[in-house]
Amino acid sequence: MSTSEPEAVTVTLVRGDITRQSVDVIVNAANSSLLGGGGVDGAIHRHGGPEILAACRELRASRYGKGLPTGRAVATTAGRLDARWVVHTVGPVWSRAEDRSELLASCYRESLRAAAELGARTVAFPAISTGVYGWPMDDGARIAVRTVLAEAVAPIEEVRFVLFDAHAYTTFEEVLSARG
Residues making contact with ligand AR6 (CB under 6 A):
17-19, 29-31, 37-41, 43, 91, 126-133, 162, 164, 168
Quick check: is 24 catalytic?
no
Q: State which residue, 94 or 113, has the beta carbon closest to ligand AR6.
A: 94
Q: State which residue, 6 or 82, has the beta carbon closest to ligand AR6.
A: 82
- Catalytic residue, from 17, 41, 82, 165: name it: 41
Q: State which residue, 94 or 155, has the beta carbon closest to ligand AR6.
A: 94
Residue 32 CB, nearest distance to ligand AR6 (Å)? 9
Residue 83 CB, nearest distance to ligand AR6 (Å)? 13
Q: State which residue, 89 or 151, has the beta carbon closest to ligand AR6.
A: 89
Distance CA 140, CA 143 (A): 5
Residue 54 CB, nearest distance to ligand AR6 (Å)? 17
Distance CA 107, CA 151 (A): 11
Residue 119 CB, nearest distance to ligand AR6 (Å)? 24
Residues 6+ apart with CB under 8 A from 11: 145, 148, 149, 158, 159, 160, 161, 176
What residues are labeled active site? 41
